[in-house]
Amino acid sequence: MHVSLTDELESRVKMKVASGLYNNASEVIREALRFMDTHEDWINEVKLARLREQLNVGVNQLDRGEGIVIESQAALNTLFDEIQSN
């Protein structure tokens, strides 16, 4: 596999190797990928927790009778458009 990096990223990889913490560029890239995987998992957990919170808010609103009736596909599309514009 061959990977192209910007000059800035290549410089950063070289600095990590020069620091003595890594033996070569491959070790730096492997560590960066492991770090990315770990943080992606964490970010997904945070997003899922936020989604659950928002669902609970919606369920509570429905329980209080604050829901709205969507009677057509056009009305649903309008609602989605309004949500996306916010």
The mean pLDDT values, 10 residues at a time, for the chain of 86 residues are 93 97 96 94 93 95 93 94 88
| Percentage, residues of the chain above pLDDT 70 | 100
CA distances from 42 to 34, 39, 56, 81 (A): 13, 5, 21, 30
Are 54 and 60 a contacting pair, CB within 8 Å? Answer: no
> What distance in Å separates the CA atoms of residue 22 and residue 64, rounded to the nearest whole number?
58
The single residue listed with the structure tokens 């989605």 is 80
Structure-token pair, residue 31: 């560590």
Instruction: Give the pLDDT score at 66.
Output: 94
What pLDDT score does 11 carry?
97
